[in-house]
Amino acid sequence: MAGGKETPRQKMIGMMYLVLTALLALNVSKQIVAAFITINDKIDRSSASIDEQLQSTYARLDQKGATLRAENRDLTNYNFWNSNALALKKSSAEIVGFLLSECNDMIKEAEGTDWVEQVDAEGNIIKLKSLQGIQNMDNYDIPTNMFVGGNPENPNDRGKQLVEKIHAYRNQISELLANYSDGNKKWIFKAPENPAELSSALITANPKDTTTISRLYKSLTLPERLYSLGEETELPWVSATFDHAPIVAAAAMFTSLKLDIKNAQVLSAEYMLSKIDVIPFVFNKIEPMPYAASGYINQGDSLNLRVMIAAFDSNEVATIRYGIDADSANRNNWKETKGGISLDGLQPGQHRVKGEIGIRERGEMTWKPWEFSYTVGQPMGVIAQPEMRVLYWGYDNVIESAASGYPADKIKLSATNCSLRSNGNGKYFVDVSRGTRSASIGIQGIKDDGSSVSLGQFNFNCKPLPGATLYFGSVENGGTMTLTEARNTTKIRVGLDPSIPLTNVTYAIIDGTLRVGELPGQGTISSNGDLDQRAKTLMAQSAGKSVVIEVKYRDKAGITKIETLSFKVRA
């Protein structure tokens, strides 16, 4: 495929294409067959560089749209060519996906596995794995049977479809470039199926476009017939390309077709871009920008947050003019600065800033108005301990901190006779050592300049954790249980009474004893709460008798305590 003036790189690609075509019908050695892998990789790298160029072209298209919207100009022409550019992008992805899908099916037939490396969001294949891993690289039966069939003079439908799809894509994008209105003039072009009719078809197109359209059309036109080495007559393009072609050579041909599509796409996209007559804003950076009227709300309130895209030139610092409060209404009192504005918070209450920012449009500086409102609050601090107003030894005491007018990341706590561990979102674990009787926690607000202001000091009483309760089945202290439950319960548990509002409190059992009425001896309880065999035997004989369980345990602060559970087993 060729047409129009070629760049040095296109000439190199064309030379590789000719070498590839010339070798397809040769019964070559494995070393030469393997060389197609190198050719394929070089073509694929060229395709990757074109992808980068396409990304730049579509980015410049977006820049032109952003400029027209910012200047509140007519978008009719932009919308037309942007729509065509998106259609071009979609069709290009689909034809590339089709070609690579056909190539993948061919390789899968030989290797028994998919060769796909990457697909796009619409499911189009955009990249195959390297040909290096193909084991049957010299197999020529599969390409022949899949795309040619038994009669090279009349290739099968699948082979003919390759030509039909590429030519359909050629016709579509040629018409996308050529059919449009320019003022009162409407230009029309219908892509001919026969290349010999191209000149007559171009008569109705804009004379300014005919060179580009002709170049594009010819670059995507496959020759109807080609000479195949070893043959005295020409064969259809499909047969000359795939008949007795080793799999890696056929795969390299698909990669070459992919490159032709990419070259056509970038030529078309650049030409569409040139049809939009606007000098875009210069910007080299795009960032997401969350925006809200305020960054602080009270509990129970709501906040409207907008997330926008900000595009700007990081190499140019904008000039800003502005006035605050009373000065906002008098332009003569406005200040001028570059980059940003520092707003002080000396006076509490609602404030208003109004101004304009300088933007360069078509080489001229224009001024765009803006305004902003903000509130300065009176800071105050508070610390809440949801569980209790005490701190327990050896327990993860939880406190919450908040300060009106200060976000969570601008609040700092200080501790006396205790230590703090952040739990996120303004919550902290407070650790108190055994024996501590009192502790205090202070809260400070951090200003923008790094200095701090005290917002309060809060005192706490410190004490050991409450004593634990023994649990044996469903029985409570002083209650009764059935003999069946007594026999089947083999474990004692130590924990807090549910009425105590502390969570995640655990105790470690040291040991314990179990006695049943006047029965001789006693059973023991292990450190994991299990009854030994003697205790189980006693419980089996406990009908109508009283049971006393005594357990020694230790809390997290290391304090050892003894708890007793007494109950009666019903006869």
DSSP 460-527: EEEEPPPPPEEEBTTB-TT-EE-HHHHHH--B-EEE--TTS---S---EEEEEEEEETT-SS-EEE-T
Percent of the chain with pLDDT over 90: 56
Residue among 268, 219, 258 nearest 126 (CA): 258
Mean pLDDT of all residues in 136-156: 93
pLDDT of residue 285 exceeding 80: no
Mean pLDDT of all residues in 126-147: 92
pLDDT of residue 118 exceeding 70: yes
Helix orientation angle between 76-111 and 157-178, rounded to the nearest 10 degrees: 160
**Structure-token match 């594009």, residue found:** 216
The tally of CA atoms less than 13 A away on the side-chain side of residue 437 is 0
DSSP for residue 191: -
13-22, 50-59, 193-202 — most confident range: 193-202
Which amino acid appears at position 118 of this protein? Q
Higher pLDDT, 121 or 283: 121
- Out of 22-31, 77-86, 87-96, 149-158, least confident range: 22-31
Higher pLDDT, 22 or 397: 397
- Out of 81-90, 356-365, 504-513, least confident range: 356-365
115 SS3 class: coil
As a residue count, the chain comes to 571
Contact assessment for residue 406 and residue 446, using Cβ atoms and an 8 Å cutoff: yes
Find all residues with CB under 8 Å of 479, minimum gap 6, and list them. 567, 568
Which tokens go with 312? 């700007």
Domains and CATH numbers, the chain: 8-274 (no CATH), 285-376 (2.60.40), 380-463 (2.60.40.60), 469-569 (2.60.40)
Write the CA distances from 320 to 72, 194, 312, 340, 553, integer angstroms: 21, 61, 15, 8, 71
- Out of 54-58, 96-100, 140-144, 349-353, least confident range: 349-353
pLDDT of residue 25 exceeding 50: no
pLDDT band per the 50, 70, 90 thresholds, residue 388: low
Which tokens go with 486? 């007594």
428 SS3 class: strand
pLDDT band per the 50, 70, 90 thresholds, residue 15: low
**In whole angstroms, what is the distance from residue 353 CA to residue 549 CA?**
75
Percent of the chain with pLDDT over 70: 83
Higher pLDDT, 342 or 201: 201
pLDDT of residue 522: 95
Contact assessment for residue 259 and residue 43, using Cβ atoms and an 8 Å cutoff: yes
pLDDT band per the 50, 70, 90 thresholds, residue 489: very high
pLDDT of residue 137: 87
- Out of 45-49, 286-290, 415-419, 515-519, least confident range: 286-290
Which amino acid appears at position 483 of this protein? L
Average model confidence (pLDDT) for the chain?
A: 85
pLDDT of residue 463: 94
Q: What is the pLDDT of residues 398-446, one digit of tens each?
A: 888 777 767 677 788 999 999 999 887 778 999 999 999 999 999 988 8
Mean pLDDT of all residues in 334-360: 79
pLDDT of residue 315: 59
pLDDT of residue 397 exceeding 80: yes
2-11, 302-311, 353-362 — most confident range: 353-362
Which tokens go with 498? 């549910």
pLDDT of residue 6 exceeding 70: no
Mean pLDDT of all residues in 186-208: 96
Mean pLDDT of all residues in 226-232: 69
pLDDT of residue 3: 44
Higher pLDDT, 280 or 179: 179
Output the CA torsion sign for 47, 48, 53, 56: positive
**Phi, psi (rounded to 5 degrees) for 249:** -70, -40
**In whole angstroms, what is the distance from residue 505 CA to residue 494 CA?**
10
**In whole angstroms, what is the distance from residue 221 CA to residue 237 CA?**
11
pLDDT of residue 389: 79
508-516 and 125-128 strand pairing: unpaired
- Residue 225 pairs with which residues in a beta bridge? 236
pLDDT of residue 235 exceeding 80: yes
Mean pLDDT of all residues in 172-195: 95
pLDDT of residue 411: 84
pLDDT of residue 329: 84
**Phi, psi (rounded to 5 degrees) for 309:** -105, 125
